[in-house]
Amino acid sequence: MIYLSSFKLSNQTLKNPNIYPYNVFRDKYIEPFSFAPITIFYGNNGCGKSTLLNIIAGKLKIKGKEMPASNVYYENYCERFENECAYSLGSNEDGIPFYQLPENSRYIKSEDILYEVKKIQQKQVLSDGTLYDYIKRGMKKEDAEKYLQSKEGSKQMEYIMYAQEKYSNGETSMQYFDEFLQPEALYLLDEPEVSLSPANQVALAEEINKMARLLECQFVVATHSPFMLGTLNAKIYNIDSKEYDITKWSDLENVRYFYNFFKKILFYLKNRFFL
């Protein structure tokens, strides 16, 4: 499913070349991004892929957008840049265009995942986080506090605290995705592989493939994980390149680095033990 068809970044320039977020995309030749059911923004740390996702989330008014620092000057430029961007929505399988995104569309950041892990690993954070979750779902604070103090609420807290001892960070992250990734939605995922083992990264990527293929989901993923890159059936934009080239996963720097590293290790082991 294609909910978001294309996105065009602002091509405006400022007299001061160091103003964020304009400086992130300075000297880049940027054509509109054209999205597939799964699209990857690949790049090393500091390349701007997280900024790009946040700008898209802000322009589309998707839940989860990271708010700027409490600086009016900074906020104004972020909002100005978003207003200068443009996008087009896609259509369903019958060719009927979408006029709005599904309500459960969401931008999930790596810090969101880490917070969920921490929430069930620290009792106070767990209590505060659970209370916040109920309030966010529409329950009054007084009613939420009363429920958590009830027998049923206490049992639920005990169950979650038991999970804290039972599950690792990676398993907790997988539980997070099981809960928040629902059918028929657009998801922006910023480094979803955080805290996941290689095996779980592959498992998550396979789940994303399945949801895009069978459950009418669309994903835009920022990652530099070779395991995610090699498993996702995705269109890949190389954010490290000047023109944001569409690139095969096997030609990306991180993938080549892993390949050459293990190639050297295997060569060493072969000559060390089998000669």
Task: Please give the pLDDT value at position 220.
Answer: 97
Task: Please give the pLDDT value at position 165.
Answer: 47
- Helices (DSSP H) in the chain: which residue ranges? 49-60, 72-84, 110-119, 123-136, 141-149, 151-166, 169-180, 198-214, 226-231, 253-273
Confidence band for 168, pLDDT divided at 50, 70 and 90: low
Domain boundaries, the chain: 4-104+182-273, 114-180
DSSP string, 35-65: --SEEEEE--TTSSHHHHHHHHHHHHT-BTP
Residue 265 in this model has a pLDDT that exceeds 50: yes
Per-residue pLDDT tens over the stretch 65-119? 877 655 555 668 888 999 999 999 999 888 889 999 999 999 998 777 767 666 6
Q: Pick from 184, 225, 179: which is nearest to 205 by CA?
A: 225
DSSP-assigned beta bridge partners for residue 6: 34, 88
Task: Please give the pLDDT value at position 75.
Answer: 62
**Average pLDDT value for residue range 127-150:** 72
The CATH class given to the 4-104+182-273 domain equals: alpha beta
Task: Please give the pLDDT value at position 13.
Answer: 83
With a pLDDT cut of 70, the percent of the chain lying above it is: 80
Lateral strand order in the sheet of 4-8: 33-34, 4-8, 86-89
Residue 169 in this model has a pLDDT that exceeds 60: no
Q: Pick from 246, 254, 207: which is nearest to 226 by CA?
A: 254
